[in-house]
Every structure is written in structure tokens, then in C-alpha cells.
Amino acid sequence: MKIDLYQVDAFASKPFEGNPAAVCPLEAWLDDALLQAIATENNLSETAFFVPTESGYHLRWFTPSVEVDLCGHATLAAAWVIFNALGSSAETLHFETRSGQLLVRREGDELAMDFPAKTLAPFEMHAEVAAALGGIEIEELLISDDIVVVVDNAGLVERLAPDMQRLKQLPGRGVAVTAKGDDVDFVSRWFGPKVGVEEDPVTGSAHTSLAPYWAARLGKQVLTARQGGARQGALSCVVEGERVVIKGCVAPYLTGKITLPNG
């Protein structure tokens, strides 16, 4: 049994930038344990699997250790595979996911994802979060499915050296640390050791809460953003009421086949 495998770099203008994702097109769903085993073997922050439906595609995402509810960069990667490797002529793709319907459309050289915006609420564990992030000074602390840590300069985000074991003890899916940018509207880094991803270079799903936060704070709907530490990627966000449109480029890296035993 062979399965096609594509590895692409999302939110990247060329290979070795942005966030790598594996994408496996399927004709029908395999057993969940096998999907997880493939994602574990790929050992990337996300592997996306999709199956055609009457109206589009059913899309699922797995980290090396768990299935997740939402992943932006692997959605961008899956759309790139459908448009480019599989030759879809559609202008907009419809994905059914655990987070509802997601749309991805072509916009010139970029792909644009339409996601539901997330609301942030105040969060009170300042001492615990600061300690997990190396004793940093926190300007504002918020939470949705991620803890969002706002700090007062982009340089502090760049220098972060968090304690992964302490991060695992915190509530939520992961921790996003963000600041106003110098050459972009805002910067961020995202850490998710609880879901098997110590640091994700570019986390599209995190921007469903980061973009509305910075849109309100900066008084603008269209924002530029950069995420990452040693490896970084670029994206733009448009906040449209209760939706966030997240745009980025994709760079292909690898095409291959997964070989599995029959049965």
C-alpha cells in the first residue's frame, strides 16, 4: 500500500523558511491509529490528511503526538497541494474540519484562508507564565485556546528561552508570545510542548486570536506579521468582523510515497 506524501514550507517564499508541513491525500479514511503513526514518523509539527467529499474535502491535522482541532499552516499546505500538485481549477476550496468549514482561495501568488476569529479573555497566572518563559516582564496576559503573552518589545520575543517542562504545566493548548513589530505590525513565537511541538515556526491558528488583538490595539484591519525564532515566516492578516483572513505563500520541498504493509 502506497500513499502520496508532499512536504511543503508554508508562509515561505522559498524552501527552508516558514513552517514545514506534510500533506497526504487519501481516497478514504485510514484507521486513526495509522494516521497518528504516519504523523509521528513524519515528525513535523503537523501532517494534514484529506479525503474528497461532494462539496470539497474533509481535512484533519495531526502533530507527532495528537490530533488537533485547527492548524493554519497545514491547511495552507493542503490547499497548495490540491491547487498545484493535484491540479484543481477551483478558485476556492471548501474544507470540513473539527473547527467547522474553512475556505482557502487563490490571491495571486498567495493563498488566503478564512478562519473564525477567537476572543481573548484576561488570564491571571502571571507568575507561573513569567517563570516558564525565563522570568520575563509581561505587559498583558490573555487566554483563548492558547495563552497569549504580550510583551513590550520585539527583541524580547526574539531572545526567549522558555522552560518546556514548565510550559507543559500551564493551561491551554500552547503559549503565544507577541509584541508590536518594528518592520511589521506585530511579531510572535508559539510554543506547544503539551501537543508535541516545542516551537512552531509559524502558527496560522494562533493568528485567529493575535490578529484581532493587534487590529484593535493598532486601529487597523489589515496587518503584517512575522513569527518564529531561528526559523521564521511571514504572513498577512485581514480582520473582518468575526472572521480572520490569513494569507501566505507556500514553497514546495519534497514529493514522495509512504509504503505501508497491506492490511
Q: Among residues 27, 41, 46, 137, which one is catalytic?
A: 46
Q: What is the distance between the alpha carbons of residues 96 and 92, in angstroms, rounded to a whole number?
A: 13
Q: Which three cell numbers stand for residue 249?
A: 505563500
Q: What is the distance between the alpha carbons of residues 151 and 148, in angstroms, rounded to a whole number?
A: 10
For 250, phi then psi, to 5°, come to: -130, 135
For 192, phi then psi, to 5°, come to: -140, 55
Query: Among this protein's residues, is 198 annotated catalytic?
Result: no
Q: What is the distance between the alpha carbons of residues 208 and 210, in angstroms, rounded to a whole number?
A: 6
**Single-letter code of the amino acid located at 188:** S
Q: What is the distance between the alpha carbons of residues 175 and 134, in angstroms, rounded to a whole number?
A: 13
Question: What are the residue numbers of the active site?
Answer: 46
